[in-house]
Amino acid sequence: RCWVHAERNLLGYVRKNDRREIITDFKAIRQAENLQATKERLAAFSAKWESSYKRRIKNLVQMEDLFTFFSFPTAIRQTIYSTNLIESFNKSLKKMVRRKEQFPNEGALDRFIMTQVMEYNDKF
């Protein structure tokens, strides 16, 4: 799960009065300079909100894959902390494949998908 989806999931279980403050604190975790600072901010976030939302915070702390984007250079972290770009591309790819309806063999499908991926990469 990406940060955006974790954030939306968390907001679904938070009281309206706490939403603004909890989302500000949660975003501060992601905006840390490095992994160590992020883990420290997560610990502070957990300590602050655990009494009100124990189960939600526990689930959030156990998500190890939330920190994956720190493995990449700082320049591209802003674009990959969310999986929305990937999901959007997959949706458009699925739409293009359906439009084509059938392929003579699996190799033809692979080539079609690769050309779509290469065109997508050229755009960005």
Cα–Cα distance between 74 and 35 in angstroms, integer?
A: 11
Indicate the pTM of the whole model: 0.66
pLDDT, tens digit, for every residue of 28-78?
A: 998 888 889 999 999 999 999 999 999 999 988 888 788 888 888 887 777
The answer to whether 57 touches 49, Cβ cutoff 8 Å, is: yes
Instruction: Provide the sign of the torsion angle of the four alpha carbons 19, 21, 27, 29, taken in this order.
Output: negative
Cα–Cα distance between 31 and 115 in angstroms, integer?
A: 35
The answer to whether 35 touches 70, Cβ cutoff 8 Å, is: yes
pLDDT, tens digit, for every residue of 87-122?
A: 888 898 999 888 887 889 999 989 999 998 898 888
113 contacts: CB under 8 Å, gap ≥ 6 = 93, 97
